[in-house]
Amino acid sequence: MPTLWTIGYERLAPEALVAELEAAGVVRVLDVRERPQSRRPGMSKTKLGERLAAHGIAYEHRRSLGTPPEIRSFYRRSAVREAARRYRAHAEANAAAELDALAAELTRGGPATALLCLEAEPSGCHRRVLAELLRERVPGLEVVDL
């Protein structure tokens, strides 16, 4: 059965993030932040990619799967249902081909992959919507939130 992991780094130090990924057997991280910058040391694109690479984990930034600012504001206001509805429509309109390609990889048994974003709780993050969209494309996809 294909598996997809998700992780939010909000409560994790860089070393703990790597440990979680390694323990799960993840070998590729897809950073689904629109802007892969962080005030948290070690969590911006370049530093994070270097740290993951040092542990044999590939890093890819997937900007098209990020949350645009006008939708992110709904998540910040805890209007999660509305944010999720808007993000779903945005992703289908702007990233359907990328989602289809990722679904095909998962179906073929591609590398053990995790979606990464800031939010600790997947229920309040767009990566939950991404996981749902991928489940619709990959019947039987198991999603594991780290």
Domains and CATH numbers, the chain: 3-145 (3.90.190)
Residue type, 118: L
pLDDT tens for each residue of 47-78: 999 999 999 999 999 999 999 999 999 999 98
Give every strand in the sheet of 28-31, ordered side by side: 58-61, 28-31, 113-117, 3-8, 142-145
CB 131 within 8 A of CB 115: yes
Q: How large is the average pLDDT for residues 107-113?
A: 92
Q: What is the reported pLDDT for 1?
A: 85
> Cα 58 to the chain's mean position, in Å?
14
Closest Cα partner for 114 from 8, 42, 36, 19? Answer: 8
pTM: 0.94
User: Does residue 8 sit in helix, strand or coil?
Assistant: strand
Q: Which ranges of the chain does DSSP label H, i.e. alpha helix?
A: 14-24, 45-54, 69-76, 80-94, 96-107, 126-137
